[in-house]
Structure 1
């Protein structure tokens, strides 16, 4: 199935999800993510989730939706900056491997080793020979990752060209989103079909039985976030652990404690 087509072959999109419905469904999924977190810690599972996709496809918002109600000590986000000169001299996969999960962790990559097959290739930051070598090597590396006991999930977030255009315009006019707009975004925008070809090559070379690609349509951000979270919950086996009955202990008595006469610097209450 092509990323732009629906399961039935049509290109029609359902009505976009309303905020109230989204928040109600997200709350239910957050409860399940907490159950998953407790199971991962208890059973010492290792989970790695890779997010790739076009600029503005919604990777950051999806990751925020996943992580906002779980512990950052269990759900870690790896969003690596541009490599240093030292890292450039290393084996390509080396800087990413050190961020893979240990027992009891879920690591989410906000872009990953697939930078080589995407932005580095399209923007000319690496040679075609290195890209071809990466495409041959990636399935072997991922096989080793999976054989080590890591549950590896790879998601490609697909946004339409019309929606991408609108989102970039929004970033340029919304002061809360200006940090998301970079010169690289504008250069990438003009190379839509170069990215399409790079994506297609990447899928053909690295979609494997042990580490398949899962594609999510993200023109409707809310619906996409819910679908992705639900998919993760379906792909990582977990059960709800029994809990002890919750009971608050009695507070100790004041005794001889006296509040100190100290000039606390309270913030100004403006709201």
Structure 2
């Protein structure tokens, strides 16, 4: 079998292994119900949860975060995706701008990329020196120990995607006008540095995979599977009880409709084209 045929067969096998939409949506709905229970428990008990997502461009971080948050309250589940630091922030202690976003009681904060930028993109693309990156990796476990000992539940996820799948996803962004915004000039520059990112990732793991704040790696070849796997995993990391059975919800009796006659206001109506 030629190399091209082997690759085609591998791609076909991968496609066959992918979750079907109906099965995926059914399982996701079940997990969303559990996330709502977690939300109520976090609020009731004043828990503080911090979830970090890292991975290469195109690994599926944004889609996974959306799957987690689409059925819960944004007042409880807060997503933090910081832009490049301002001139003022560049003069501060490196982690300072991240610390202000850590959760208060009753909050779940999700970092779409985090302080680990210094160990990844900043290091690989030359936005910090090797010395700065090494010092960051030396002190980060201590910072995270302080976070955990203060009562924060800290979860760190790395989404692992293959080079071929990353290429396919980035090409898809180029072709799809709905996804083009996801592709930045930095993504294109980073694309050519696969081995550099792999080396940076390995050194990051070696320095910051601790007993109090371990890294969890999730295979991200199939976006649907990785979303379900991560949600299932994080549910197990946050001990919670179901409070929904204590809430008996029923619609109240509505008063008679029609006593008030709506004014003939000249509304500017939206054209019904569909």
Q: TM class, shorter-chain normalised?
A: over 0.9
Counterparts of 1:24-63 in structure 2, within 5 Å, are: 24-63=26-65
Name the TM-score, length of structure 2 as normaliser. Answer: 0.93
SS at match of 2:260: coil
Greater displacement, 260-269 / 225-234 = 260-269
The alignment yields a C-alpha RMSD, in angstroms, of 1.2
Taking the aligned partners of 1:110 and 1:218, their CA distance within structure 2 comes to 16
Q: Indicate yes or no: 2:167 matched with 1:168.
A: no
Q: Which structure 2 segments of 5+ residues have no match?
A: 1-12
Alignment length (residue pairs): 260
Q: Deviations over 1:195-238 (max 9, x none)?
A: 00000000000000000000001010000000000000000100
Match of residue 270, structure 1, among 235, 249, 273: 273
CA drift of 1:258 comes to 1.3
Residue equivalent to 1:225: 227
Residue equivalent to 2:148: 146
Counterparts of 1:242-253 in structure 2, within 5 Å, are: 242-253=245-256
Q: Deviations over 1:175-196 (max 9, x none)?
A: 1111011111111110000000
Name the TM-score, length of structure 1 as normaliser. Answer: 0.94
Runs of 4+ with deviation above 4 angstroms = none
Structure whose residues are more often helix by fraction: 2
SS at match of 1:116: helix
Residue equivalent to 1:72: 74
CA drift of 1:251 comes to 1.0
CA drift of 1:269 comes to 1.0
Taking the aligned partners of 1:224 and 1:249, their CA distance within structure 2 comes to 41
Taking the aligned partners of 2:38 and 2:250, their CA distance within structure 1 comes to 23
Q: Deviations over 1:130-177 (max 9, x none)?
A: 001000010000000001100000000000000001111111111111
SS at match of 1:42: helix
Taking the aligned partners of 1:139 and 1:220, their CA distance within structure 2 comes to 31
